[in-house]
């Protein structure tokens, strides 16, 4: 497809899919970090539960997205599921990746406030999920 679009012979690296997956993964985690630095994200079970009950993060109203570590325990997740009907959940990152993005050693649960940033994060996470569907994503 690249050759046809470029109208000439094009060589693509054999690991191009893994490279794109790694870049998308990095973009998503950078957006999570940006949300944290902007006061639009909180992590930790108690803080997340409190934000879900209040339907707000600090002074900002609305929860746009919940992040759950792919290697987190099911019991904590199910408790938060009950507090967040209708809130999308992204669970494609492990606790170490989420922790790094959120400025912690590890993070299992997090929420991001509603707004343009969370819309972009959701869109990029959907792209990453579609790209890595059916295979284990690289840690890139």
Alpha-carbon gap, residue 34 to 56, rounded angstroms: 18
Q: What is the mean pLDDT of the chain?
A: 90
Alpha-carbon gap, residue 43 to 41, rounded angstroms: 7
29-51 per-position pLDDT tens digit: 999 999 999 999 999 999 999 99
Q: What integer pLDDT is reported at residue 137 of this predicted model?
A: 40
Look at the alpha carbons of 3, 6, 10, 13 in this order and tell me if their dihedral is positive or negative: negative
**CATH numbers and ranges of domains, the chain:** 39-132 (3.30.1330.30)
Q: What integer pLDDT is reported at residue 129 of this predicted model?
A: 94
Percent of the chain's residues with pLDDT above 90:
78
């Amino acid at each position: 497809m690249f050759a046809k679009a470029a109208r000439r012979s094009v060589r693509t690296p054999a690991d191009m899919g893994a490279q794109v997956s790694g870049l998308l993964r990095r973009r998503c985690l950078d957006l999570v970090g940006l949300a944290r630095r902007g006061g639009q994200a909180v992590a930790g079970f108690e803080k997340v539960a409190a934000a879900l009950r209040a339907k707000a993060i600090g002074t900002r109203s609305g929860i746009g997205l919940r992040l759950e570590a792919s290697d987190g325990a099911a019991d904590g997740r199910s408790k938060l599921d009950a507090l967040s009907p209708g809130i999308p959940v992204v669970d494609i990152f492990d606790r170490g990746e989420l922790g790094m993005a959120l400025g912690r050693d590890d993070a299992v649960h997090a929420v991001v406030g509603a707004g343009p940033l969370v819309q972009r994060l959701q869109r990029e996470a959907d792209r990453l999920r579609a790209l890595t569907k059916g295979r284990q994503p690289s840690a890139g």
